[in-house]
Amino acid sequence: MGRITGSYPDDLDLLIEGAVEAGVFGGKSDALREFVREYFDDHENERIAAAIALYERERITLGDAARLADVDRWTMRDLLREHGVELRIGLADDDDAEYEREAARELDFSDEETGDDGESASE
């Protein structure tokens, strides 16, 4: 888990302390995590922009970018292309390989024209 050190106005610090004391959050870190999550949940474009920036700087893989942007890999590829970011080909590491394996397991190759009994609609 990453660690961030920062500063914010005293009034915000007091509000966070008060929320912790009131039992709204388990601690200041919990509160800040929740605020950041809510921000990115409410701001999809900024979430995607962050994922694109990290991918472009080769800090994350395509699979990581898709996960962070909360889109599938094919949508992420399209977004990267739209932003003029060159795609990197190949697996970067074991995590990327595992993501590929999981994505392949989720693919549905069933024929839409088969009935419930597995027989082709034309048979």
Pair (49, 100) in one structural domain: yes
Amino acid at 13: D
Show the domain range for 30.
Answer: 10-42
Beta strands in the chain (DSSP E): none
In total, how many domains does the chain have?
2
Pair (18, 54) in one structural domain: no
Beta-bridged to residue 114, according to DSSP, are 120
Does residue 38 fall inside a structural domain? Answer: yes
CA distance 86 to 97: 20
pLDDT at position 119:
55
96 by Cβ neighbours in 10 Å (0-12 / 13-18 / 19+) ranks as middle
51 by Cβ neighbours in 10 Å (0-12 / 13-18 / 19+) ranks as buried
Task: Give pLDDT tens digits along the chain (123 positions).
Answer: 888 888 889 999 999 999 999 999 999 999 999 999 999 999 999 999 999 999 999 999 999 999 999 999 999 999 999 999 999 876 666 777 777 788 778 887 776 555 555 555 544
Task: Kindly report the length of the chain.
Answer: 123
